[in-house]
Each structure stands twice: as structure tokens, then as C-alpha cells.
């Protein structure tokens, strides 16, 4: 039942939105009257969905993603579609075909990516909650950079039906908000089984955050405080872990040897899957119409060259190479072995501890244009991609500021232990604000 409409103002300052629903209907339910922004790679019936790419400019889905159906049923007001790195490929939201999003904490800096628009919309107070997607850190990175809370749920706990695919085996839709309680509330709405998603599990979320973490064991991997992690960031996170100890938790040193190969395994896997998934954007089924006077090969090449951005083309080519004859065994097959080793390492550690903690990102938010070479941008994902490879839940919660910019504490847990991860984040958050 529609109760009313909420009006939303244009976003002229941060470019967090690509599309704003000036008048959004809202109804009765858990999210009655609450404004929720939706990342622009999640299908919304009747609302343009572009993945921040020129190749999908003007595309209006004829159906809602499962999570959007649940939002509408819960009474939420969908405020619009948020900016992102094109097709989710990036760590800064600078790879959008329609211009970058700015970080509300400092507009000379990036908000993180690829869900940078969702994070910025929440951090700037434009919405109370948002949906993002996380393939290798794309919820947690912008949450850390913008100073909000972001959860990558266990793989399969939230339906991916209606998510425009980038890397099927890694990506997950998840909640973003200013508080752990609001992340938990949004998770109550979006989690659960969906028969249209064959990777979906029947694991609904009906949890209320609990700040009592007495007796919990927190694993502290040495690799999360090694080379490349800014010393100030490391100290802030260590102090946050000390606060968890003050609340009754016990820290346990541990090691994840497979971290050495995690980043390479991630980029081989995700680019290979992107090469396959993005083949559908051919100027026939999707994208601007191809020039039928040209040969199919030339028309296909021209549509993709003109309408895909540089980073998307780069990843498609990398993935095509990794899957090509003679190289599949050298790259993709080896990446899957490394992925299994990451899973085994996390399973081994989480058999002895309740959660694992460390920094979300190795540095604070970059300045606009700072990560101009692809390798330095890829290296920024080193602390977030392992959770995607393992398929486990991971949350980023603010734990202070370095040089005036937010820093995120990352908490990871075992499969389908999202509730425990949320409890630890909530305990820390409450200890800081009280």
C-alpha cells in the first residue's frame, strides 16, 4: 500500500547519483518512508540502469532485481541510481562514463569504488541507506573512504537476480549506511532465498545487533599489517582492536600465507568472467545499434571501442587472454587453485577464532587522479579481495581518521556468520560513540 511520496533534490555537489527519482513512492513495512539509493548496476523497473557506461545509456529494465522488489515491498522510497566505476571495474568511481563522484569528507579526494556513489550519498546525508555491490571490495572500500558502514554478505545470502553481471563467482549485493544498526535493518529486508538465483541459499537474516562480545576470539593476520599499509592506518586499526579487547574479546595472531597470490588470483578470475559476461554488449541485443552496413566483426568492434571505457576494455582483453587457447592452464586454472588455497586458509583460521580483523584499505582515500596507472589501483584491493575469494562475510566500520580522512576497520567471519560480524562491528561502534 502506497502511503505517500518523497521528493528528492538534484545532486549538484558530489555527483553521487546518475538518476534521481524526483518523486519516489513509499509504503508500509520495515523501511516505511526510508530513502534508499540503489547502485546503477542493479536493475530497476522503469528507471534507467546504465552501469555508468555509455553502452547502456538509455536502457530501462522491464523488471526489478530481487533486492529492489524486496525494497518496494518493505515500504522504502527508492531515491535514484548511484554513480559507480563502469560495470564495477575500479576502486575510485573515476571510471564512470559520466564523470567521477566526489568524497563528501574532502571533495578533492575519491569516494572509493566501485560503489562510490552509494557511499557518498549516505555520507552526505542524501539518503539513510544504500545498496552497493562488492566483487573485490566495492562496498567496503568506499565505506572506509567515506566513513560509513558497509557489509559484503556471505556469497549466496543475498540474491543476485537482476544484478548486471561482472564476475558471477565473486560479486555480492550488500547494504551500506551510517550505522551498523541500519546496515542490519537493510540486511533483514534483502537477505534470503530466491529461486531465480541458482547460487542463492535459504538463509534469511532476522538478527538484532548485540554488543556483548565477551569471550570472542579475534584473529589478527600479520599480512594485514605488512608492506604497503600506511603506518597511521595500521595504528588506528590496532587501537580499534585494543578497544575490542577492552570489551572482552581476545586477539589471536595468525597468518594467511595464500595472501601472496590472492590479488593475482582475483584479477585473473574477475577479468576472465568479465570477458564472458560483457560479450553480450554487441550492438544487437544491448548497446547502441551497430552499423549494419559494415561486416559483423567491424560493427561489433566499433560499438565496443566507442562505448566501453578504457578500464573495461583493458579487463576484457586481460580476461580474453587468460582464457585463450594455450594460456587457460597457465592463468585461469592456476587462479582457481590459488582461490581454493585462500578458502582453505580462512577455513583453518576461522576454525580457531570467531572473526578476523584488520584494516579495510591500506591507505586513506586517494586524491582525484592519483591512481592513474592500473597497477597501483589494483594493489589498493589487496586487503579486500581475499574475503571475496573465500566467499565469507566482511564489514567495514569507521575507526578514526588519518590526516582528517576516515579509516575503516574490517571484520571478517565464517560462511553465514554475518550476524557475528555485525555484532563485533556494532560492539566497536557503540564503544566509540558512548
Side-chain half-sphere exposure of 242, counting CA atoms within 13 A: 6
Separation between Cα atoms, residue 337 and residue 313, nearest integer Å: 26
Q: How many helices (H) and strands (E) does the chain have?
A: 12, 13
pLDDT above 70: percentage of residues in the chain: 99
**Contact, 162 vs 43, CB < 8 A?**
yes
Separation between Cα atoms, residue 124 and residue 372, nearest integer Å: 26
Separation between Cα atoms, residue 430 and residue 434, nearest integer Å: 6
Residue 376 annotated in active site:
no
Least confident of 280-289, 356-365, 389-398: 280-289
Residue 295 annotated in active site:
no
Average pLDDT over residues 85-94: 98
Cell of 324: 585463450
Least confident of 261-270, 295-304, 346-355, 420-429: 295-304
* Residue 50 pLDDT greater than 60, yes or no: yes
Residue 334 annotated in active site:
no
- The answer for residues whose C-beta is within 8 angstroms of residue 139's C-beta and 6 or more apart is 115, 118, 132, 133, 150, 151, 152, 174, 176, 396
Predicted local confidence at residue 332, as pLDDT: 95
Predicted local confidence at residue 2, as pLDDT: 52
The secondary structure of 170-204 as a DSSP string is T-EEEEEESSHHHHHHHHHHHBS--TT-TT--S--
Predicted local confidence at residue 410, as pLDDT: 98
Altogether, the residues listed in the chain come to a count of 434
Taking only the tens place, the pLDDT of each residue in 232-274 is: 999 999 999 999 999 999 999 999 999 999 999 999 999 999 9
Predicted local confidence at residue 373, as pLDDT: 87
Mean pLDDT of the chain, nearest integer: 95
**Contact, 183 vs 151, CB < 8 A?**
yes
* Residue 211 pLDDT greater than 70, yes or no: yes
Catalytic residue among 53, 79, 114, 159: 114
Separation between Cα atoms, residue 281 and residue 41, nearest integer Å: 14
Taking only the tens place, the pLDDT of each residue in 143-196 is: 999 999 999 999 999 999 999 999 999 999 999 999 999 999 999 999 999 999
Give the pTM: 0.97
Separation between Cα atoms, residue 281 and residue 278, nearest integer Å: 6
**Contact, 202 vs 328, CB < 8 A?**
no
Predicted local confidence at residue 285, as pLDDT: 76
Catalytic residue among 96, 138, 159, 396: 138
Predicted local confidence at residue 3, as pLDDT: 62
Three-state SS for 107? coil
Predicted local confidence at residue 237, as pLDDT: 98
* Residue 1 pLDDT greater than 60, yes or no: no
Q: Pairing between strand 355-359 and 2-7?
A: unpaired
Separation between Cα atoms, residue 193 and residue 64, nearest integer Å: 16
Cα distances (Å, whole numbers) of residue 240 to 95, 152, 395: 32, 20, 14
Cell of 153: 554478505
Separation between Cα atoms, residue 432 and residue 355, nearest integer Å: 19
**Contact, 167 vs 160, CB < 8 A?**
no
Classify residue 322 as exposed, middle or buried by CB count within 10 Å of its CB (0-12, 13-18, 19+). buried
Average pLDDT over residues 369-375: 89
Predicted local confidence at residue 283, as pLDDT: 78
Cell of 377: 589501483
Place of cell 544487437: 284
Domains delineated in the chain: 1-434 (3.90.1300.10)
Taking only the tens place, the pLDDT of each residue in 287-345 is: 777 766 778 788 878 889 999 999 999 999 999 999 998 889 999 999 999 999 999 99
Dihedral through CA 197, CA 119, CA 153, CA 355, nearest 10?
A: 170
Amino acid at each position: 500500500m502506497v502511503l505517500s511520496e518523497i521528493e528528492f533534490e538534484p545532486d549538484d555537489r558530489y555527483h553521487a547519483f546518475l538518476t534521481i527519482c524526483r518523486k519516489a513512492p513509499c509504503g508500509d513495512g520495515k523501511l516505511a518512508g526510508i530513502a534508499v539509493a540503489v547502485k546503477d548496476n542493479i536493475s530497476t523497473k522503469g528507471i534507467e540502469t546504465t552501469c555508468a557506461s555509455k553502452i547502456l545509456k538509455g536502457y530501462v529494465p522491464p523488471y526489478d532485481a530481487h533486492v529492489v522488489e524486496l525494497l518496494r515491498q518493505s515500504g522504502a522510497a527508492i531515491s535514484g541510481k548511484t554513480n559507480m566505476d563502469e560495470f564495477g571495474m575500479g576502486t575510485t568511481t573515476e571510471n564512470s562514463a559520466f564523470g567521477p563522484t566526489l568524497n563528501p569528507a574532502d571533495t578533492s579526494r575519491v569516494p572509493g569504488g566501485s560503489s562510490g556513489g552509494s557511499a557518498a550519498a549516505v555520507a552526505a546525508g542524501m539518503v539513510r541507506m544504500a545498496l552497493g555491490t562488492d566483487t573485490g571490495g566495492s562496498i567496503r572500500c568506499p565505506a572506509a573512504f567515506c566513513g560509513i558502514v558497509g557489509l559484503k554478505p556471505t556469497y549466496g545470502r543475498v540474491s543476485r537476480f537482476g544484478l548486471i553481471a561482472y564476475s558471477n563467482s565473486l560479486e555480492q549485493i550488500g547494504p551500506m549506511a551510517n550505522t551498523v544498526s541500519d546496515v542490519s535493518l537493510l540486511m533483514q529486508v534483502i537477505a534470503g532465498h530466491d529461486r531465480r538465483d541458482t547460487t542463492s541459499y535459504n538463509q534469511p537474516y532476522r538478527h538484532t545487533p548485540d554488543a556483548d562480545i565477551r569471550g570472542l576470539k579475534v584473529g589478527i593476520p600479520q599480512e594485514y599489517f605488512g608492506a604497503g599499509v600506511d603506518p597511521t592506518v595500521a595504528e588506528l586499526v590496532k587501537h580499534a582492536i585494543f578497544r575490542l579487547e577492552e570489551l572482552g574479546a581476545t586477539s589471536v595472531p595468525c597468518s594467511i600465507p595464500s595472501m601472496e597470490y590472492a590479488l593475482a588470483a582475483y584479477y585473473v578470475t574477475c577479468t576472465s568472467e568479465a570477458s564472458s559476461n560483457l560479450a553480450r554488449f554487441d550492438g544487437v541485443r544491448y548497446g547502441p545499434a551497430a552499423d549494419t552496413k559494415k561486416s559483423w566483426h567491424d560493427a561489433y568492434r566499433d560499438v565496443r571501442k566507442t562505448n566501453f571505457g578504457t578500464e573495461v576494455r583493458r579487463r576484457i582483453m586481460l580476461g580474453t587472454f587468460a582464457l585463450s587457447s594455450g594460456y587457460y592452464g597457465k592463468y585461469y586454472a592456476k587462479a582457481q587453485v590459488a582461490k581454493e588455497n585462500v578458502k582453505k586458509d580462512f577455513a583453518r583460521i576461522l576454525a580457531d577464532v570467531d572473526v578476523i580483523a584488520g584494516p579495510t584499505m591500506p591507505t586513506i582515500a586517494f586524491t582525484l587522479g592519483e591512481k592513474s596507472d592500473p597497477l597501483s589501483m589494483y594493489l589498493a584491493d589487496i586487503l579486500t579481495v581475499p574475503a571475496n575469494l573465500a566467499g565469507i562475510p566482511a564489514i567495514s566500520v569507521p575507526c578514526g581518521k588519518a590526516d582528517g580522512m576516515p579509516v575503516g576497520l574490517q571484520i571478517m567471519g565464517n560462511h553465514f556468520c554475518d550476524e557475528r560480524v555485525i555484532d563485533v562491528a556494532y560492539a566497536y561502534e557503540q564503544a566509540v560513540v558512548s
